[in-house]
């Protein structure tokens, strides 16, 4: 049965930054031996000057994001409300420097031992903290449950200044008139977040047709443009190289959802030879939707590579189609507004997201018309 959208949808999105690299070909930022969130630290908090503590105010988020019975907030099937509440309310007790990447970030420990990765507002186009927060809420609203738990927080910059003193990126941090810095606080994921090295032509699993486009859209934007212009040779001969054949419906469905998700948030910074932004929850574990800070551009671009990735996609989960077709804008808006003021997205960004939701539904509908039930991942 073909299902079509008959009414335009208005969507409000807000995003924040995950602990990952701003550049695709570098290891994801903040991936230390532990990995990204969920657990609690055992290390004792560093000593703090009581005079300084008396003068500093840590500002938690205003309220917890609301949940609906249809779309509860789950991370791989587990309720995350308690963790979100701790991230939003617990005082900061320890700060360490984050590792690598183009943007500056900090690994933090809260008073009850909860660990997180704080990505402050900064002048880096691929590290928009608000994009990470919005991506988290969109992930939960659509029922994916694969983006890390992330909340909006404000802290006094004085808590980070000493750690960042020798960091050349410190001048890019955006500090308000009261000396505070707002940013995304991402829950730490224990157990590791290794890259999923899919290899060439992995996207065959997303196709009903046997062929794949000659120029793969699942590479960096620069490489894709270079191959299309003829400046970079196209890799055609795969003899002697293993080609990964993915048949597990859960894995195929996760990859299909990731392509859809990136199209919705306008994240072109996902794919590279190193797969640094394609991460799994533990060795051999499920796919994470990690590192979404390059999404939700201030001036929404009409990226050709994002469209090429969507057009490569011919197989989908029925649950994803239904979630998009029945997208509850009011529910999503309530999630976003729970992060407080100022608003995390402009009206233009909201309108652009609304259009992309419809575009994906129309694409899925067209694929079903063309290929029938073969488009559904069972």
pLDDT by residue (tens digit) across 59-118?
A: 444 556 676 656 789 999 999 999 999 999 999 999 999 876 778 999 999 999 999 999
Does some domain include residue 94?
yes
> Among residues of the chain, what percentage have pLDDT more than 90?
61
pLDDT of 29 > 50? The answer is: no
pLDDT band at 32 (very low <50, low <70, confident <90, very high): very low
User: Regarding predicted confidence, which is higher, 120 or 20?
Assistant: 120
Asked if residues 263 and 217 have their Cβ atoms less than 8 Å apart, the reply is no
Q: Mean pLDDT score of the chain, rounded to an integer?
A: 82
Domain count, the chain: 1
Does some domain include residue 3?
no
Nearest to 80 by CA among 93, 63, 67: 67
Rounded distance between C-alpha atoms, residue 44 and residue 249, angstroms:
43
Does some domain include residue 245?
yes
* 127-141 exposure pattern, b = at least 16 Cβ within 10 A, e = fewer: bbbbbbbbbbbbbbb
Nearest to 144 by CA among 47, 309, 262, 300: 262
- The mean per-residue pLDDT over the stretch 199-209 comes to 94
Asked if residues 277 and 24 have their Cβ atoms less than 8 Å apart, the reply is yes
Does some domain include residue 342?
yes
> Which two tokens mark 257?
């959802």
Phi-psi group of 240: left, alpha or beta (phi > 0 → left; psi -120 to 50 → alpha; rest → beta): left
User: Regarding predicted confidence, which is higher, 376 or 125?
Assistant: 376
Window from 35-39, 172-176, 248-252, 284-288 with minimum mean pLDDT: 35-39
- The mean per-residue pLDDT over the stretch 349-369 comes to 93
* Domain housing 307: 12-42+54-378
Asked if residues 312 and 213 have their Cβ atoms less than 8 Å apart, the reply is yes
User: Regarding predicted confidence, which is higher, 32 or 95?
Assistant: 95
Residue 116 is inside which H or E element, if any? Answer: strand 115-120
Does some domain include residue 271?
yes
Hey, how many other C-beta atoms are within 10 angstroms of the C-beta on 278? 24
Rounded distance between C-alpha atoms, residue 106 and residue 108, angstroms:
6
Per-residue pLDDT, 330? 79
pLDDT of 37 > 50? The answer is: no
> Which two tokens mark 15?
């995003």
Phi-psi group of 191: left, alpha or beta (phi > 0 → left; psi -120 to 50 → alpha; rest → beta): left
- Angle 369-374-378 (CA atoms, 0-180°, nearest 5)? 130
User: Regarding predicted confidence, which is higher, 124 or 42?
Assistant: 124
Hey, how many other C-beta atoms are within 10 angstroms of the C-beta on 240? 5
Asked if residues 313 and 257 have their Cβ atoms less than 8 Å apart, the reply is no
Asked if residues 23 and 103 have their Cβ atoms less than 8 Å apart, the reply is no
Rounded distance between C-alpha atoms, residue 354 and residue 29, angstroms:
31
Does some domain include residue 48?
no
> Which two tokens mark 36?
């990204």
> Among residues of the chain, what percentage have pLDDT more than 70?
78
Decide: residue 339, CB within 10 A, 0-12 exposed, 13-18 middle, 19+ buried.
Answer: buried
The string of pLDDT tens digits covering residues 222-253 is 999 999 999 999 876 554 455 568 999 999 99
Residue 97 is inside which H or E element, if any? Answer: strand 92-97
| Contact residues for 178 (Cβ-Cβ < 8 A; gap 6+) | none
Does some domain include residue 6?
no
Rounded distance between C-alpha atoms, residue 235 and residue 232, angstroms:
9
- Angle 333-337-338 (CA atoms, 0-180°, nearest 5)? 120
> Which two tokens mark 359?
């575009």
> H helices of the chain, where?
50-55, 81-89, 129-141, 158-161, 221-229, 249-265, 304-312, 318-325, 329-337, 347-371
pLDDT of 15 > 90? The answer is: no
Per-residue pLDDT, 340? 82
Does some domain include residue 47?
no
């Amino acid at each position: 049965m073909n299902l079509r959208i008959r009414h335009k949808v208005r969507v409000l999105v807000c995003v924040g930054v995950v602990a990952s690299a701003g550049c695709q070909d570098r290891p994801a930022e903040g991936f230390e031996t532990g990995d990204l969130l969920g657990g609690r630290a055992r290390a004792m908090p560093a000593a703090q000057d009581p005079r300084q503590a008396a003068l500093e105010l840590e500002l938690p988020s205003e309220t917890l994001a609301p949940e609906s019975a249809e779309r509860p907030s789950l991370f791989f099937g587990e309720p995350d409300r308690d963790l979100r509440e701790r991230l939003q309310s617990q005082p900061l007790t320890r700060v360490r420097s984050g590792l690598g990447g183009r943007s500056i970030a900090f690994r933090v420990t809260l008073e009850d031992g909860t660990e997180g990765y704080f990505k402050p507002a900064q002048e880096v186009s691929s590290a928009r903290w608000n994009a990470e927060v919005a991506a988290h809420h969109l992930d939960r609203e659509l029922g994916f449950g694969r983006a890390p738990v992330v909340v909006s927080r404000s802290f006094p910059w004085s808590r980070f200044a000493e750690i960042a003193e020798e960091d050349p990126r410190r001048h890019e941090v955006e500090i308000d008139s009261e000396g505070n810095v707002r940013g995304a606080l991402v829950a730490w994921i224990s157990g590791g977040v290794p890259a999923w090295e899919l290899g060439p032509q992995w996207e065959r699993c997303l196709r009903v047709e046997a062929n794949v486009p000659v120029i793969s859209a699942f590479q960096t934007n620069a490489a894709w443009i270079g191959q299309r212009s003829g400046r970079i040779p196209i890799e055609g001969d795969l003899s002697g190289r293993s080609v990964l054949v993915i048949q597990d419906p859960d894995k195929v469905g996760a990859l299909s959802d990731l392509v859809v998700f990136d199209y919705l948030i306008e994240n072109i910074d996902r794919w590279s030879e190193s797969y640094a932004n394609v991460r799994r929850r533990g060795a051999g574990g499920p796919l994470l939707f990690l590192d979404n800070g390059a999404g939700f551009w201030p001036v929404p671009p009409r990226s050709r590579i994002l469209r090429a990735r969507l057009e490569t996609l011919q197989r989908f989960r029925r649950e994803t189609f239904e979630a998009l077709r029945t997208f509850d804008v009011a529910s999503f808006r309530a999630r976003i507004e729970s992060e407080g003021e100022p608003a995390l997205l402009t009206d233009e960004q909201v309108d652009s997201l609304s259009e992309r939701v419809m575009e994906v539904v129309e694409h899925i509908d067209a694929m079903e018309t063309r290929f029938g039930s073969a488009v559904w991942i069972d």
